[in-house]
Structure 1
Amino acid sequence: MDNVKAAAYIRRYEGFSKLPYKCPTGHLTIGYGHNLENGISAKVALFILQEDLTQAEQAVKKAFPWWWKLDDARQFVLVDMAFNMGLAGLKGFKKMLTAVEQGDYQTAAKEMLASKWAAQVGRRAIENARIMETGKWD
């Protein structure tokens, strides 16, 4: 079967929806008629993760012009936090962000750990704070 031709046909009749919706038979659907009740493959999940990570990175770059001055490890921490709680959530870390911008990574790490977010995500916050403080990303 010609998968390119088949996909074009299906796209034409299914239409695209970036948000989940109930199809006429009541199934939760997204994209070009993908039934979410069937789940997704690990390959699709990885693709979505990469897309979401790219969006988080672009948002952080745009929001914090000084982001470029950070090393790769500290850039990652900010992107991971934005990925995890959204850019608005990251922007709520005003003292931490000020410390990062000033190069005071020890204070930034302490501010990260003294947050509701740290209590919610546990080990992730501890690891991110360590990365922020040391600049080492294993």
Structure 2
Amino acid sequence: MKINAEGLELVKDFEGFRADFYNDLAGHKTIGYGHNCDADPNKCKDIKAPITQAQAEELLKTDLAKFEGHVTSLVKVKLNSNQFSALVSFTFNLGQGNLASSTLLKKLNAGDYEGASKEFGKWVYAAKKVVKGLERRREAERALFVKA
């Protein structure tokens, strides 16, 4: 399964486009739509900033493929396109390890879709402080997750 158009737009909207390198909230060297250079320093060595939105979208689609794979391997129950896309956005933002160890995943794999949807709102902290942008993102992911 692949992230759907609504999920892709959700990620793009919350990541925002940056043509030049910058440090994200966690201090990671980043470019485009949240392309994390620190995760693999070799993947940014050939990028010449500034980049275009088209280049950023290609980087994002390549990055998202990895997270689509993580969601596919971790989730053991049937998902619709919106549920899958919400989880890809969540995992792209928080990392595979956080999804893997989450109560959200445990509830989901137990077939408790409603309980899983309520877990999104717990993932709104950075440096032990609530971040308004993360609150908005988790609510958008949850809304997509529960959308028929």
Task: Please classify the TM superposition score into its range, dividing by the shorter chain length.
Answer: 0.5 to 0.7
The letter for the 2-side match of 1:40 is I
Question: What stretches of structure 2 of length at least 5 have no aligned partner?
Answer: 1-40
TM-score normalized with structure 1 length: 0.63
**1:77 and 1:131 in contact (8 A); partners too:** yes
Q: Deviations over 1:56-95 (max 9, x none)?
A: 101221233x15x1111111111111111110122231x2
For 1:10, the equivalent position in structure 2 comes to none
Question: What stretches of structure 1 of length at least 5 have no aligned partner?
Answer: 1-16, 21-29
> Counterparts of 1:9-28 in structure 2 under 5 Å?
18-20=42-44
**1:113 and 1:125 in contact (8 A); partners too:** yes
**2:67 and 2:92 in contact (8 A); partners too:** yes
SS where residue 95 of structure 2 aligns? helix
Cα distance in 1, alignment partners of residues 101 and 125 from structure 2: 11
Work out which structure has the larger RCO, using CA pairs closer than 8 Å and 6 or more positions apart in sequence: 2
Matching of residue 84 in structure 1 with residue 99 in structure 2? no
**1:96 and 1:107 in contact (8 A); partners too:** yes
| Equivalent residue in structure 2 for 1:75, among 71, 81, 84 | 84
Residues matched between the structures, number: 103
SS where residue 80 of structure 1 aligns? helix
The structural deviation recorded for 1:19 is 4.3
**1:53 and 1:83 in contact (8 A); partners too:** yes
SS where residue 51 of structure 2 aligns? coil
Cα distance in 2, alignment partners of residues 107 and 101 from structure 1: 11
**Structure 1 vs Structure 2 CA RMSD:** 2.3
For 1:123, the equivalent position in structure 2 comes to 136
**1:117 and 1:125 in contact (8 A); partners too:** no
| Equivalent residue in structure 2 for 1:62, among 61, 68, 73 | 73
Q: 4+ runs of 1 displaced by more than 6 Å?
A: none
The letter for the 1-side match of 2:50 is G
Cα distance in 1, alignment partners of residues 135 and 71 from structure 2: 23
The letter for the 1-side match of 2:89 is D
More helix by share: 1
TM-aligned CA distance change 1:106 to 1:75, over 3 Å: same
The structural deviation recorded for 1:102 is 2.7
For 1:14, the equivalent position in structure 2 comes to none
